[in-house]
Each structure stands twice: as C-alpha cells, then as structure tokens.
C-alpha cells in the first residue's frame, strides 16, 4: 500500500474505532435523558428559541458526524458514549420524534441552556431575559409525560418497559448558576441557590420513580473553575486564586464540589425513601479531574484550559467572537484540546469522562454490576 492509502486506512479506522459494546444480554432496552447543553442532541436547535443558532452549523459537529446536529461540541457527548456502551442508538431529540413513529430505544429531552429551576424563578430574579430557553427540567418532564402515552399504554406495560430503561437526570443545574454569575452574582449568592437547584433535581428523580423508573443516574457538576468562560470572566491578578497544578479557579471548583456534595446528600435521602430504586450518582467532577492533572497522558497536547474554538483572549474565549461567530476559528486538532468553545468540552474530553464513568468507578453504585 502506498503511504497515502495506509494513512487513509488508519484515519478511517481511527474514526470508527469505538469502545467495546458491553457483553450481552443488553442491560437496558431504552435510555431517557434530561438535561442541558452537556447532553442536548438537537432539541434547542429545533425549539426555535434562536433563528440562527451557531450550534446549527460547522465547526459544531465537525468530528464524527461531519455536520452540525445541534450538539454543543465538535462531536459526540457523554450521553452518546453511554448509549454506544449499551449497544443502543444515539438518542434522538424529543422535538424530532414527538410527532413521528414511536421510538422504543429511548429519547433525549435535554435542551441547551436549560435550568433545573423554572424560567419563572429567573424572571422573578430579573435575570429572565438572559435565559436561552424556558425549557427547564419541569418542561422536559412534561414532554416525557406526553410521550409516554405513545410508547406504553397500561400502568403495567409502562412499568415493565421503564424497569428495563435507564434514566439519566442531568447534568442539570449548571445553568442555574451560570446565568446569575455571568451578571456578577457572588459565590455566596450562588451557594444560596444550591438547596433550590438540588431540590428541583430531587423532585424530578422522585417523579420519574413514581412513573416507574428504577435505574437512574444523576450526575453532578463539572469543575467549572476550569472552564474558559469562567477563567475569562473571573480572571484574577492573585496567583492564589488559581490551583497551582491545573490553573483552574479554586473558588469556582470549590463551589462545584459544594453543589455536588449537597446533591449526593439529597440522593442518599431519596435512596432511603425509594429502596427499590437504584439511584446512581455520576461524579462528573472526579471523572474529569485526571484530564486537568495529567493532560499529556490523555493526549491533550493542545492544552486543557484554552478553548479550541474561539475568537481570542488568554483562554481563547471572546464573548464578542464566540465559537461559530465571525472572528472565531477552530483549532486544527480538537481531539488534543479539552475545551471546545469556552463553555463546552470536545468529543475527546467527553469520551474520556464517559469511559471513567462507565468503566472507571465514577458512578456509584456502579452502572455495571
């Protein structure tokens, strides 16, 4: 073979190579996902909230799909890798399948920009106009109720089907903190929101269990202090504001942990309330941390904190030239970067996180057992 052909074969195989599908029999027949841009596979794009959202065009989707799908990344998301691990198709967005033929392998209700608390909460706090979407967690749960009548009929039928389904409730809640902090909310103000946000997540979990869900995964928040948008907005002249090992903002990472600990506590209460359910906590923070500690070990030669796609600035996040807008460019090798567009991560970062979650013990109790 000529060098060119060898390269081509390598390239094609490299792209198609995926994780082994978990041994049969397949554990779940369907996956239902609720959340925000970390797991939206196309609802925001179809919601019409914005006439020309940048996530509807390249470079979004350039990796793997080779076209924009409405995912806020260059390629696949954690939810896609979870579906692949169970041998299930990528979850179609609810707004695509709501009026179509019934889908038995799962549906995705996540919407980019969605909050755990209702939009009315943010309107009352005068930050409502900042919201990208009003399709909060309770709206997504209503969509689930609407869809239910088309996928199963009797209580028994639904129960049988949901028992064999996996419910992913989040990540959600990150935006509840993003919106207030982007307009100057202090960490103290964010902490005051935590019981409300976690309360909304816990209510969603309860509701799904009452509907018949048995296996649920509830993720916590990522280390937001490592996110290019936070690093740009909350740049500090004080070296002590940064984690010397990772360069991330210590106070925001500590806040993410605060939310996560609160959530874990609440999940423990739910386990006691619903002993028959398997309520799993997904430690996104812990699963992401190794990438920031030893980036080269994971092939992140392009860096961990600088966005791959952006319009300049120390972290390549420029609010006047965000990824996809005029003045922004994408880096040549997204797989060598952790951060995609300043806010969201690259496919390769999500892939590492997903592998850590599924096979690395960052879901407890474990997803596979």
Ligand X SMILES: *[C@@H]1O[C@H](CO)[C@@H](O)[C@H](O)[C@H]1NC(C)=O
Closest distance of CB 355 from ligand X, Å? 35
Q: Are 14 and 333 in contact (CB under 8 A)?
A: no
Does 321 interact with ligand X (rule: CB under 6 A)?
Answer: yes
Is there a catalytic annotation at residue 157? Answer: no
The piece of 17-25, 68-76, 180-188, 320-328 that touches ligand X (CB under 6 A) is 320-328
Identify which of residues 294 and 320 has a Cβ nearer to ligand X in the complex: 320
Does 268 interact with ligand X (rule: CB under 6 A)?
Answer: no
Closest distance of CB 116 from ligand X, Å? 16
- Closest by CA to 16, choosing from 112, 113, 84, is 84
Number of residues that bind ligand X (CB under 6 A): 11
Q: Are 98 and 147 in contact (CB under 8 A)?
A: yes
- In the bound state, the residue with its beta carbon closest to ligand X is 312
Does 235 interact with ligand X (rule: CB under 6 A)?
Answer: no
- Altogether, the residues listed in the chain come to a count of 369
Q: Which residues pair with 33 in a beta bridge?
A: 108, 168
Does 53 interact with ligand X (rule: CB under 6 A)?
Answer: no
Is there a catalytic annotation at residue 90? Answer: no
Give percent helix, percent strand, percent coil of the chain, each to the nearest 5.
45, 10, 45
Q: Which of 49, 98, 130, 270 binds ligand X (CB under 6 A)?
A: 49
Does 158 interact with ligand X (rule: CB under 6 A)?
Answer: no
Does 299 interact with ligand X (rule: CB under 6 A)?
Answer: no
d(CA 238, CA 34): 38
Q: Are 71 and 41 in contact (CB under 8 A)?
A: yes
The piece of 33-41, 252-260, 318-326, 359-367 that touches ligand X (CB under 6 A) is 318-326
Task: Name the DSSP letter for residue 92.
Answer: P
The piece of 203-211, 246-254, 284-292, 308-316 that touches ligand X (CB under 6 A) is 308-316
Closest distance of CB 123 from ligand X, Å? 6
- x-marked contacts with ligand X along 92-121 as a string, rule CB under 6 A: ---------------------------x--
Identify which of residues 89 and 327 has a Cβ nearer to ligand X in the complex: 327
Is there a catalytic annotation at residue 176? Answer: no
Does 273 interact with ligand X (rule: CB under 6 A)?
Answer: no
Does 130 interact with ligand X (rule: CB under 6 A)?
Answer: no
Closest distance of CB 141 from ligand X, Å? 17
Q: Which residues of 26-55 are buried (b: 16+ CB within 10 A; e: fewer)?
A: ebbbbbbbbbbbbbbbbbbbebebeeebbb
- Residue 250: CA count within 13 A, CB half-sphere: 9
Q: Which of 153, 189, 273, 320 binds ligand X (CB under 6 A)?
A: 320
Identify which of residues 76 and 322 has a Cβ nearer to ligand X in the complex: 322
Residue of 337, 341, 351, 352 marked catalytic = 341
> Which residues lie below 8 Å from residue 329, measured CB to CB, with a gap of 6+?
309, 310, 311
Does 134 interact with ligand X (rule: CB under 6 A)?
Answer: yes
Does 312 interact with ligand X (rule: CB under 6 A)?
Answer: yes
Q: Return contacts of 154-158, CB within 8 angstroms, 24+ apart.
A: 155/212, 158/211, 158/212
Identify which of residues 144 and 315 has a Cβ nearer to ligand X in the complex: 315
d(CA 353, CA 57): 25
Say if strands 165-169 and 106-108 run parallel, antiparallel, or are unpaired: unpaired
Q: In what order do the strands lie in the sheet with 165-169?
A: 106-108, 30-34, 165-169, 215-219, 278-282, 363-364
Residue of 90, 259, 344, 352 marked catalytic = 344
Q: Are 321 and 327 in contact (CB under 8 A)?
A: yes
Does 175 interact with ligand X (rule: CB under 6 A)?
Answer: no
Q: How many other CB atoms sit within 10 Å of the CB of residue 71?
A: 30
Q: Which of 43, 63, 133, 339 binds ligand X (CB under 6 A)?
A: 133
The label of the residue with tokens 């506590």 reads 265
Say if strands 329-330 and 309-310 run parallel, antiparallel, or are unpaired: antiparallel
The residues that are catalytic are 37, 341, 344
Q: Which residues would be at the binding site for ligand X (CB under 6 A)?
A: 49, 119, 133-134, 311-313, 318, 320-321, 327
């Amino acid at each position: 073979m000529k060098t060119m052909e060898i390269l081509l074969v390598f390239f094609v195989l490299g792209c198609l190579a995926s994780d082994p599908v978990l041994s049969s029999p397949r554990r779940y027949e369907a996956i239902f996902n609720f959340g925000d841009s970390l797991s939206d596979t196309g609802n925001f794009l179809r919601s019409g909230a914005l006439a020309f959202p940048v996530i509807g065009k390249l470079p979004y989707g350039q990796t793997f799909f080779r076209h924009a799908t409405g995912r806020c990344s260059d390629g696949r998301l954690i939810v896609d890798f979870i579906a692949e691990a169970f041998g299930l198709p990528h979850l179609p967005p609810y707004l695509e399948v709501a009026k179509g033929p019934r889908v038995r392998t799962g549906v995705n209700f996540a919407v980019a920009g969605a909050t755990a608390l209702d939009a009315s909460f943010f309107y009352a706090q005068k930050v409502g106009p900042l919201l990208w979407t009003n399709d909060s967690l309770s709206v997504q749960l209503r969509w689930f109720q609407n869809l239910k009548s088309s996928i199963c009929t009797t209580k028994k039928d639904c129960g049988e089907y949901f028992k064999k389904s996996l419910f992913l409730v989040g990540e959600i809640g990150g935006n509840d903190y993003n919106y207030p902090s982007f307009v100057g909310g202090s960490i103290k103000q964010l902490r005051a929101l935590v019981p409300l946000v976690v309360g909304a997540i816990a209510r969603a979990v309860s509701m799904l269990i009452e509907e018949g869900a048995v296996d649920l995964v509830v993720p916590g928040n990522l280390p937001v202090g490592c996110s290019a948008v936070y690093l740009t907005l909350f740049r500090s002249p004080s070296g002590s504001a940064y984690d010397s090992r990772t360069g991330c903002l210590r106070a925001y990472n500590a806040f993410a942990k605060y939310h996560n600990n609160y959530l874990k506590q609440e999940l423990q209460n739910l386990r006691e309330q619903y002993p028959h359910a398997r309520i799993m906590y997904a430690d996104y923070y812990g699963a992401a941390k190794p990438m920031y500690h030893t980036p080269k070990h994971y092939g992140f030669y392009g860096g961990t904190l600088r966005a791959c796609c952006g319009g300049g600035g120390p972290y390549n996040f420029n609010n006047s030239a965000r990824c996809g807008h005029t003045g922004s460019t994408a880096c040549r090798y997204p797989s060598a970067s952790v951060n995609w567009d300043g806010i969201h991560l690259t496919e390769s970062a999500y892939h590492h996180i997903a592998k850590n979650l599924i096979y690395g013990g960052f879901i407890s109790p474990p997803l596979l057992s």
